[in-house]
Amino acid sequence: MRFHKSFAFFSVICFAAASARAQHPHGDHEHGKPVEFKMPTTYKDGVREVLMRMHEIEELMASKKLDLVHAQADVIRKVGDVAGQLALKSDSGVPREAIKDVNKAGRELAAMFDAIDKVADAGDAAGTRKVYGDMKKLVDLLQRHAPKDYVCPMRCEGDKLSPKPGKCAVCGMKLQDILSHMDHTAKYGGIFFMAPDKMHHLEGTISEKGEFRIYFYDEYTKPILADKFTAEGKVRAKGADQELPLKMAMEPRKSFLVGSVDKSIKLPLSIKIFIDFKDGEKPQCFDFDFDEPSKMPATADVIEDKKPQGSRGS
């Protein structure tokens, strides 16, 4: 029940745009109906709008619905164009010395619309994810200068926000940054997904030697141990039809599941993984396309289970 309550607010925000879609022409390609949104009037709301649309694009990439990326990217284009103007407002919270960088990042973000629209229209999953990654760097800069709002994960006081971190006056839980749920930054240089259950995130990485890892996170993208989950999958070379099984296991006291790709399959490759979250539902499917080895940041820190081996948490 805790997860459902804590996610309710975000469900309304993040998926309000997923209404019935009509078709309209765009060059030689058909796109869904433009999403309805209200142009933000504050810098904080502008950043939040962009993050929500980036979140939607991530979901579309995960579900391979690239033909619907256009509408979400178009909102990002429109908001990016006015990011500098919003930052100039006296109550924006953006430091004066940062306004120039914000304006530049917003313009560059808006200019990337054509690039992501082109690769998404072509059904190029790897190309779409690459452009998305470039966009994410610009969005991170915009978010860095946005004032934060905090809310109780349990929504004890509804959607009441606080401008400062602290604890809920009702239940005592630590207030959460309202934008933290939308942080889909890959912690280990891999491919990041939100699970269909809306309560888990995961990240897949591949090494030069073909070691595939899956890292797990909660609904606020906080790292969690992998000891409660199981997974199995299949792997194939890009463009090939033959698939080989990929067994996944957990290394003792580590935060990830790991499997070794058969040495006969080289990069670029595709991995289809079925993950059982032990929630009574069917295993959930995720597709990972790797063109090159994942590049883990030097600051990445793998969490470990500090309990003695043989002891398992609930």
What are the Cα distances from residue 247, in Å, to 203, 228, 292, 302? 17, 16, 21, 21
Query: What is the average per-residue pLDDT within 273-290?
Result: 91
Q: Which of 77-86, 99-108, 184-193, 278-287 has the lowest mean pLDDT?
A: 184-193
Residue 50 pLDDT grade (very low, low, confident, very high; cuts 50, 70, 90): very high
Confidence check: pLDDT of 178 > 90: no
Domain assignments of the chain as residue spans, ordered by start = 2-150, 186-290
Per-residue DSSP letters for 120-178? HHTT-HHHHHHHHHHHHHHHHHHHHTSPP-EE-TT-TTTT--BSS--B-TTT-PBPEET
Bridge pairing between strands 150-151 and 244-247: unpaired
Residues with Cβ within 8 Å of residue 66, at least 6 apart in sequence: 60, 120, 121, 123, 124, 125, 128
How confident is the model at residue 187, as a pLDDT?
84
Query: What is the average per-residue pLDDT within 14-35?
Result: 45
Kind plus residue range of the DSSP H or E element containing 249: strand 249-250
What are the Cα distances from residue 230, in Å, to 216, 274, 275? 11, 9, 6
Whether the Cβ atoms of residue 52 and residue 14 lie closer than 8 Å to each other: yes
Confidence check: pLDDT of 183 > 70: no
| Fold (CATH) for 186-290 | Immunoglobulin-like (2.60.40)
How confident is the model at residue 3, as a pLDDT?
40
How confident is the model at residue 314, as a pLDDT?
35
- Residue of 60 and 246 predicted with greater confidence: 246
How many Å apart are CA 255 and CA 247, to the nearest integer?
17
How many Å apart are CA 168 and CA 164, to the nearest integer?
11
Confidence check: pLDDT of 248 > 70: yes
Confidence check: pLDDT of 229 > 90: yes
Confidence check: pLDDT of 7 > 50: no
Residues with Cβ within 8 Å of residue 224, at least 6 apart in sequence: 216, 217, 218, 255
What's the token pair of residue 208?
């030069």
Residue 15 pLDDT grade (very low, low, confident, very high; cuts 50, 70, 90): very low
What pLDDT, in 10s, does the model give residues 80-126?
A: 999 999 999 999 999 999 999 999 999 999 999 999 999 999 999 88
The DSSP letter of residue 185 is -
Per CATH, the number for 2-150 is 1.20.120.290
